[in-house]
Amino acid sequence: MIEFKSVEKSYGAASAISNLSLSIPSGKVTALIGPSGCGKSTLLRLILGLIEPTSGEVVVDGHPVNRDSAQAIRRKSGYVIQDGGLFPHLTTAQNIELMGKHLDRAVDINKLTQLAHFPNDALGRFPGELSGGQKQRVGLMRALALDPSLLLLDEPLGALDPLVRSSLQKDLKQIFGEIGQTVVLVTHDMAEAAYLADLIVLLRAGKVVQVGTLEDFQKRPAEPFVTEFLNAQRQMVTL
Amino acid sequence: MRKVYALLILMSMVLGQVALAQTVVVGSKKFTESYVLGEIAKQVLTDAGLKVEHKKGMGATGIVWTALKDGGITLYPEYTGTVSEEILKQPGIDRPTMEKELAKDGVGMSPDLGFNDAYGLVMTKSQATKLGIVKISDLKVHPELTAGITPELLKRKDGWGPLTAKYGLKLKDVRGIDHALGYAALFAGQVDIKDCYTTDAEIKKYDLVVLQDDLHFFPLYRAVFLYRLNAPPQAIKAIASLAGKIDEAHMIAMNAVGGESADYAKAASLFFAKPNQKSVPSVAEESLVAQTIRLTEKHLELVGISLLLAILVGIPLGIVASKPGALSSVVLGTAGVIQTIPSLALLSLLVPIAFFGISERTAIAALFLYSLLPIVRNTAVGISTIPAGLKESAEALGLEPSARLRKIYLPMALPTILAGIKTSAVINVGTATLAALIGAGGLGEPIVSGLSINNNQIILQGAIPAAVLAILVQLAFDGIDRLLVPRGLRAK
């Protein structure tokens, strides 16, 4: 379980997160959604201790996130960013095995390629030689390499074309079902959030607007912004 | 990264092997006569069964004297006038006093070699005749004449300043110019008057007249050898055997051969070619190929050691400078400032420091300092331009800061760092030619000698191999680049 307790994060005068409290349940897929700049990626960084809150506290599985605990939390987590975050000087296999080698722990690469539907013969390729969808699959394999108890995905499908995106969405759904761990997914696409997540958190300007399922949002909007956001998404879909 | 270190260590082993056998080291100043006398000493000492090295053209009096005092060289040819006026700074003292004073520094003086090489002023015969000038006092009424004076004489205690004071000369245009280049300038009419040594071969060659020193300003400059009192006794004995053996005519003839051919061993052999002497010993001759190989090896040694040090120091400094902040500005700023110090100035700043002096160490230290900036800057840029997303990914994976640096940042910055090292290496090969100015050898040796006697052919003997070497170094680094940089980082 991840808990945000009255978390405030500001950069100078600008506030990215303001007095935010939120619980993310264990073993479920939670989607953080909202317009650009709403603070959804900032929440992921706070969980990993990549940035520190200005005030308030983030607690992961009972441990407050701080300088001392961050390393342990990171090593129990997998993190995937938009373009995969792969290191260009390492091959696909080297990227996946990086942490395993560093910590002297075995990585079952065959299991990962099967899980992520990645061709084994492409493991020797460098990131620059992979397609956008393949990079995401490698990023995912790297994140899952050491069986993390927490998986954080920051707009993993944001930069992909619709066909690749749809195929990866199906694969992700399947993977989330198989591993059954806590997943936090950042997206700006309500259809994707509804398809992949058990719980959706709608954010605006660093604040939580509503927590629930798509049905909750449709039938019991907490404020007019929820309906507005859904309508904007629907218009795009009916194009 | 391990591959890089292995390569660097290998490089240092190949380049760093400096032979340090105990030898008698003959020094000489940067002009033909000093070279020739140095060669004569080398021959005599070799014949006496000693292992001899001749450090040619180390520079002006101060440099050679310091080297003698500090034990960098064992002996070198000097003139009594220079000893009293410049070294001891006690004008007019007699010979026994000189010997007593020199002994305080552990230095002895050989008997006279047999000739006097005084300073003098020369003009072309045609102009002297036209203006009716025969003695230095005659210059008083010609303030319009220009003078090209050796920088050393311009600054000496017994030099240009006191001379003009004594004679009441008021020349308006006086320039400092290298001794050998000065003759060319005089012959070309760019200057009217220049200083000379009265045994200079150019006096005959360019048809010049030495102006009479009618007020007896210049002291006697009897040629002698100064040696370390702790030199091997057979060396001191061998040098003493030269007493009275070389007269002025002889010296002028040898200077002429030395100046023409730049083969000082050949010039020195004239001394030994007297009756009852056998033909020239073969050790004197060194083929151009052998010389080039020897000098290139020395050059690579200087470049290799200094570059290796610059890599070992520069990369850590670059890592420090890759984090924006005050420290980064200080590191990059300092490296940048060092780069702007003229190389000659840097050398002369280092020479007075006891640890350095006239040695390879000075040359290596200077080259090291010049090599730093490109390596520091490229390391800093290579690391700081890694995309933020990748830096964050490395951190989010749970790599410790040191592991991030080792496994991610440095390998990703490798192409940029290698480019910096390559730049340093190529600059270094060029700058290392200056090492010859302080007797550290290398391909600068023919360049400096050639400059000092105004001989382009000899300059090219150093300049061409140095240029070729720079190109080869560049190609070698292109190869290293291909070897070390993974396919994933090469330009797509």
Structural domains in chain A plus CATH codes: 2-238 (3.40.50.300)
Residue B8 scores a pLDDT above 80: no
Unique residue bearing structure tokens 């012959």: B187
Q: What is the CATH number of domain B119-210?
A: 3.40.190.120
Q: Is the pLDDT of residue B405 over 90?
A: yes
Give me the pLDDT at residue B14, please.
44
The span from the CA of B53 to the CA of B168, in Å, is 45
pLDDT tens column, B279-324: 333 344 568 888 889 889 999 999 999 999 999 999 999 999 998 8
- In whole angstroms, give the CA distance from residue A160 to residue A166: 9
Instruction: State the ipTM, two decimals.
Output: 0.89
Residue B340: burial class (beta carbons within 10 Å; 0-12, 13-18, 19+): exposed
B323, B326, B484, B328: which is closest to B411 by C-alpha? B484
- B326-340 and B288-321 helices, crossing angle to 10°: 160
Residues A179, B62: Cα–Cα separation, whole Å = 81
Q: Do domains B20-113+221-284 and B119-210 have the same CATH topology?
A: yes
Domains in chain B: boundaries = 20-113+221-284, 119-210, 288-489
Distance from the A177 Cα atom to the nearest Cα atom in chain B, whole angstroms: 23
Answer whether B120's CB lies under 8 Å from B211's CB. yes
Closest residue of chain A to B387, computed from CA coordinates: A85
Burial class (CB in 10 A: 0-12, 13-18, 19+), A110: exposed
Given this model, what pLDDT does residue A132 score?
86
Burial of residue A237 (CB within 10 Å: 0-12, 13-18, 19+) is exposed
**Half-sphere exposure at residue B172, Cβ-oriented, CA atoms within 13 angstroms:** 5
B99 contact A CB<8A:
no
Interface contact flag, A89 B398, Cβ < 8 Å: no
At residue B265's C-alpha, the angle toward residues B262 and B268, to 5°, is: 105
Give the gap in angstroms from C-alpha B389 to the nearest C-alpha of chain A: 6
Bridge pairing between strands A199-204 and A55-60: unpaired
Counting one residue from A and one from B, how many pairs have CB atoms under 8 Å apart? 59
The C-alpha of A29 sits at a distance from chain B's nearest C-alpha, in angstroms, of: 20
Instruction: Tell me the pLDDT of chain A (239 aa) as tens digits.
Output: 899 999 989 888 788 888 899 999 999 999 999 888 888 889 999 999 999 999 999 999 989 999 889 999 999 999 998 888 999 999 999 999 999 999 999 899 999 998 888 999 999 999 999 988 899 999 999 999 988 999 999 988 877 787 888 888 888 888 888 888 899 999 988 888 999 999 999 999 889 999 999 999 999 999 999 998 888 877 555 54
- Angle CA B159–B163–B166, to nearest 5: 150
Q: Which of A48, A71, A73, A89 to mutate to test the interface with B (most CBs of B within 10 A)?
A: A89
Stretch B118-141: mean pLDDT: 90
CB of A88 less than 8 A from some CB of B: yes
Q: Which of B397, B403, B489 sits opposite A88 (nearest CB)?
A: B489
Residue B402 reports pLDDT greater than 80 = yes
Fold that domain B20-113+221-284 belongs to in CATH:
D-Maltodextrin-Binding Protein; domain 2 (3.40.190)
By CA distance, what is A128's nearest residue in B?
A: B488
Q: Is B487 on the interface with A (CB under 8 A)?
A: yes
Q: Do A71 and B400 touch (CB under 8 A)?
A: yes
Q: CB distance from A105 to chain B under 8 Å?
A: no
Distance from CA of A193 to the nearest CA of B (A): 23
Calpha distance A140→B389 (Å, rounded): 15
Maximum Cα–Cα distance across chain A: 52
Domain topology for B288-489: MetI-like fold (1.10.3720)
Q: Which tens digit of pLDDT belongs to each residue from B157-180? A: 668 888 888 898 888 888 777 777
Instruction: Tell me the average pLDDT of chain B.
Output: 84
Q: Report the relative pairing of strands A182-187 and A150-154 from DSSP bridges.
A: parallel
Q: What does the alpha-carbon distance between residue B369 and residue B95 come to, in Å, rounded to a whole number? A: 44
Partner A, chain B 384-403, Cβ-Cβ below 8 Å: 389-390, 392-400, 403
DSSP bridge pairs for B225 = B77
133-172 in chain A: CB under 8 A from chain B: 142
Query: What are the two backbone dihedrals, phi and then psi, of residue B116, each rounded to the nearest 5 degrees?
Result: -110, 120
Please tell me the distance in Å from B421's CA to the nearest CA on chain A: 20
For residue B421, pLDDT over 80 is answered with yes
Tens-place pLDDT, residues B345-379? 887 777 777 677 667 888 899 999 999 999 999 99
Q: Which of A83, A88, A98 is facing B397, going by the closest CB pair?
A: A98
